[in-house]
A and B are shown apart, each in its own frame.
Chain A
Amino acid sequence: MRAVEPLIGIAGVVVAWEIASRVAANSTLVPPPASVWKALVAMRGSELPKDIGASLVHLLVGYTTGATAGLLLALLAGSSKWLAAVIDPFAEFLRPISPIAWIPLAILLFGVGRAVPMFLIFYAALFPIFVGTLDGIRRVDASLVNAARSLGASRRTVAMRVILPAALPSILGGARLSLGVAWMALVAGEIVGGDAGIGWRILWYQEFFQMDRVLAAILIVGALGLAADGLLRLLQRHLLRWHPATESAS
C-alpha cells in the first residue's frame, strides 16, 4: 500500500486535469493531458534540446561566475576587518534588491538577448554564496588555521586547503538556497528579456497560441528545477561525505 500512495496522488492530479479539460471543452484554454504529451514528443524531436541547452548555458555561465565572485569577495572580506567593514554595508544595501528588479536595467544596458538571463543568475548566485562563504569562514576553527601555519603553509594553501573546506557546508547550504531564486530569475529573465532558452520559448508558443506546448514547456521547467535541486543535493552529499554533521536526509 505504501508504494502505491505516491502514484495515487499523481494519478489523482492527472484525472482531475482530464476532467477539467473535458469541462472546459476548449483545448486552447485547458489542454488535455493527451495533447500535452503529444506536444512533448513533438518538441523533443525539434526545439526542446536546443532550448534546454540554451537555458543550461545561461544557468551555468551565470552561476559559476556569480559563485566565483561571491567566493572571492567573501575571502577578501574574511581576510581583513577593514575590507569587511567596507564590503559588508554594500552587500547589505544590494541584498534586498531582488534579481528580478534588475531585469529592466539589464535590458537597457545589455539589450534583449542572452546576456540578460546570464547577468541575472550571476547576481542571484553572488549574494547567497557570498554570505554563506563569509559565514563559514568566520566559523572556521582558528586552531586549524594556526596548525597549518605553524607547519609552514602559505596563505594561499591555508585559504584553499583549510578555510574553504571547513566553510564548505555553509557555502553549499547557501548555494541550495540560492538555486530557487536563481531558477526564478532565469525563467523571468528569459521571458522578459531573452531570446533563447526554455523560458523564452514558453512566450514564443504563447504568441502562436500553442497552449499545449506552453503547458508542456511549463512542465519541463518544473522537471529541470527538480533535477537541478537533486543534483545540488547529490553534490552536497558527495563533497561533504567526510563531514561528521552531514545530514542524511534533506
Chain B
Amino acid sequence: MQEISRPVRITLPLAVAALFCIGWEAAVRLTRSHGLLPSPTGIFASGVEATSSGIIFDAMSGSLKRVILGFVIGGVLGVPLGLAIGTVPALDRALRPVLDGLRSIAPIAWIPMAILWLGVRGDAALFVVAYAAVFPFIVNAGLAASLVDRHLVAAARALGASRWMIVRAVLVPSSLPMIFTGARIALAFAWASIIAAELAIGIKIAGQGRSVAGIGQLMVETLYVKRDVDALVFYMLVIGAVSLVIDAGLRRLQRRMLPWSAR
C-alpha cells in the first residue's frame, strides 16, 4: 500500500468531520431535539455568546490561577523532597510506603475534608490541585536523583566541591529533564483536578447565586440552572484546547531550556 499523499491526509479527515457535523445537525433537527441534545450550530452559537459576554474568560482565568498556583506549590514541595529521597536511600525506604499510600488516594477524594478545612471559596480546590501536582514531582525528581551519574559526583568531589556545590552543579542539572517530564504530568493532573474539584464544590453551592469562580462551577451552573447542553459542549472543547496549549507550551519551554533532552 503506498503512502497516502499529504493533501489527502489533511482533507480526508476534514471532509469526514464536515459530513459528520452535517449528519449530526440533521439528526438533531429531524428529531426536534435541538436544545435537548448538543448540535454543531448550537455549540457555535453558545461559543459566540460565551466569548462576547466574557464569561468564559472570567471562569478560565479563575481556574487557571489556581492551577498555576497549585502547580507551583506542588513543584516547590515535591522537587526538594524527591531529590532528597533519591539521594538518601534510608529516607526512600522510610517514606516509600507513606508516599505510595498517599499517592494512591485520588486527589478529588479529599474534597470533603478540604472544604471543611478551607471553606468553599476556592482554597479547597487549590488544596486538591496542589495535592495532585506534588506526587509526579516527587516521583520523577526521586527517580532522576537516583540515576545521577556516580562518575560526575566523584569527579566533582575530587575537584574539591562541597556537598552544596555538588547539589547545585551536578544533581540539579542532570535531574532537570526528568523533573520537566514530571512537571508536564503534574500540570495535566492539576488541570484535571481543578475541574473535578470545582465541579464537586459547584454542586454543593449550586443555585445559591454565588459568583462563578472557575470553569467547573460555570459548568455546574450551566448544567443545573441554565440547562444549556450546547454551552456545556463548548466549555468542554475549551477545556481540551487549553490543556493542549498548556502542554505544548511546557514542551516548547523544555526544548528551549534543555535542548538535549526534549523529544
Chain A interface (Cβ within 8 Å of chain B)?
2, 5-6, 8-10, 12-13, 28-29, 81-82, 85-86, 88-90, 93-94, 96-105, 107-109, 181, 183-184, 186-188, 191-192, 199, 202-203, 205-206, 211, 214-215, 217-219, 221-226, 229
- Cβ contact within 8 Å between B236 and A101: yes
- Cβ contact within 8 Å between B112 and A108: no
- Cβ contact within 8 Å between A101 and B195: yes
- Cβ contact within 8 Å between A222 and B102: yes
- What are the 7 A-B residue pairs with the smallest beta carbon separation, nearest first? A225-B104, A97-B240, A206-B112, A222-B105, A9-B94, A89-B13, A188-B196
Q: How far is the CA of A186 from the CA of B191 in the complex (A)?
A: 16
Chain A residues with Cβ below 8 Å from B8 are: 85
What band does the interface of chain B fall in when counting residues whose beta carbon is under 8 Å from A? 35 or more
The residue on A at minimum CB distance from B136 is A180
Q: A9-B98, A223-B104 are in contact. Are A105 and B236 (CB under 8 A)?
A: yes
- Cβ contact within 8 Å between B104 and A192: no
Residue of A12, A96, A109 near B243 (CB, 8 A) is A96
Chain A residues with Cβ below 8 Å from B109 are: 187, 191, 199, 202, 217-218, 221-222
Q: How far is the CA of A105 from the CA of B96 in the complex (A)?
A: 39
Q: List 24 A–B pairs whose Cβ atoms lie within 8 Å, in order of A's numbering.
A: A6-B93, A9-B94, A9-B97, A29-B116, A96-B244, A96-B247, A97-B239, A98-B243, A100-B192, A100-B199, A101-B240, A103-B196, A104-B199, A104-B220, A104-B222, A104-B223, A104-B232, A105-B229, A191-B200, A205-B112, A206-B116, A215-B113, A217-B109, A223-B104
- Cβ contact within 8 Å between B229 and A218: no
Q: A97-B239, A104-B232, A226-B100 are in contact. Are A183 and B192 (CB under 8 A)?
A: no
Chain A residues with Cβ below 8 Å from B115 are: 206
- Cβ contact within 8 Å between B95 and A9: yes
Q: How far is the CA of A82 from the CA of B11 in the complex (A)?
A: 12
Q: A10-B98, A105-B233, A218-B109 are in contact. Are A81 and B192 (CB under 8 A)?
A: no
Q: How far is the CA of A143 from the CA of B97 in the complex (A)?
A: 45
Best-surrounded residue of A81, A89, A103, A199 (most CB of chain B within 10 A) = A103
A240 to chain B, nearest CB (A): 22
- Cβ contact within 8 Å between A108 and B236: no
Q: How far is the CA of A98 from the CA of B233 in the complex (A)?
A: 13
In the assembled complex, B90 has its CB within 8 A of some CB on chain A = yes
Chain B residues with Cβ below 8 Å from A86 are: 12-13, 16
Chain B residues with Cβ below 8 Å from A107 are: 223
The residue on A at minimum CB distance from B228 is A108
Q: A98-B191, A188-B196 are in contact. Are A5 and B98 (CB under 8 A)?
A: no
